[in-house]
Amino acid sequence: MVAERTLPKFDTNSVKITKEEGLMLYEDMVLGRLFEDKCAEMYYRGKMFGFVHLYNGQEAVSTGVIRAMRRDEDFVSSTYRDHVHALSAGVPAREVMAELFGKETGCSKGRGGSMHMFSSPHNLLGGYAFVAEGIPVATGAAFQSKYRKDALKDKSADQVTACFFGDGASNNGQFFECLNMAALWKLPILYVVENNKWAIGMAHDRATSQPEIFKKASVFNMAGYEVDGMDVLAVRGVAQEAIARARAGEGPTLIEALTYRFRGHSLADPDELRDPQEKEFWAARDPIKKLAADLGKRNLATAAELKAIDDKVKAIVEDAVEFAESSPEPDPAELYRYIFAEN
């Protein structure tokens, strides 16, 4: 069955972007898509092991939010579907691919794998395998920013945190407890629900008494917005407003991005539960194709310029695979390293 909820309308003309910004958004989304396609290829070739959850179709959410933030300064908390969040946050494709290969050169030194991407230099707080597990971590990061700025009078502590999670997480206790605290303390955080309609094989509308998640913000007297998660300019516009509010000390925002994953829950999922008509409905709203069309309408990019970006990204992804394959395995003698903080 095709989605019952109508995708929200957003005046994307109100989102002003330069040619440079438009091409940046396009490149970021294409990098996410082609990287994940390559992951599928490597997984089926036996180069990756365990569970691998791909992000295809949801790129507008990662790019729209994270690329509206300050790279290497603001914080990002992810889920088990974290590869593309890491890329948008600035973690090099080489380090993300090497982590997926379990190599020492990976962003988590080969200890995390697909579901546990972490990068201190890029303020990536981690990918989390348990549903809603990252929400308290992100809330803590936002609290320390608030505490340093207000209690310690550190004027440089104006970082904003973006906390990503799926529709299934909005039914968990951490969601309600953390949003309550964030609202009470006016924490500088964006709670971003990537509602792709499915929690593994459970349809979202069957799992919650209030399917419109953004409306739950009203319980906490918090700003809540619904946005078309297949439109990167719409996501960027809502994110920019929420980031500005957070940085100005006006508190948190709950953003529900209506999106869709083009692949199964994980690469081990045959994806036989979803209606083919539903998949066709969302595939026709491919966020990358939509942005390409929008850039053309705004006279910000030509087909040749977009093709050049496609080719550039393909080379980056191929280079990442070569780097990962040639990188060393973790040293067994360092099995217990990184368990505790080092001086």
pLDDT score recorded for residue 304: 98
CB 258 within 8 A of CB 226: yes
Nearest by Cα to 23 from 318, 303, 319, 241: 303
Domains of the chain, by residue range, sit at 51-294
Eight-class DSSP state of 94: H
Reduce the DSSP state of residue 231 to 3 states and report it.
Answer: coil
Q: How many helices (H) and strands (E) does the chain have?
A: 11, 7
Rg (CA), the chain: 19
How many residues belong to the chain?
A: 343
Residue bearing tokens 């499915």: 198
- Cβ atoms of 254 and 180 closer than 8 Å: no
pLDDT band at 4 (very low <50, low <70, confident <90, very high): low
Confidence (pLDDT) at 2: 41
Domain 51-294 part of CATH 3.40.190.10 = no
Q: What is the pLDDT of residue 1?
A: 43
| Cβ 127 vs Cβ 78: under 8 Å | yes
Give pLDDT tens digits for 242-292: 999 999 999 999 999 999 999 999 999 999 989 999 999 999 999 999 999
User: How sure is the predictor about 75, in pLDDT bands with cuts at 50, 70 and 90?
Assistant: very high
Q: Can you give the pTM of this predicted structure?
A: 0.96
Distance between the two ends of the chain, CA-based, in angstroms?
Answer: 55
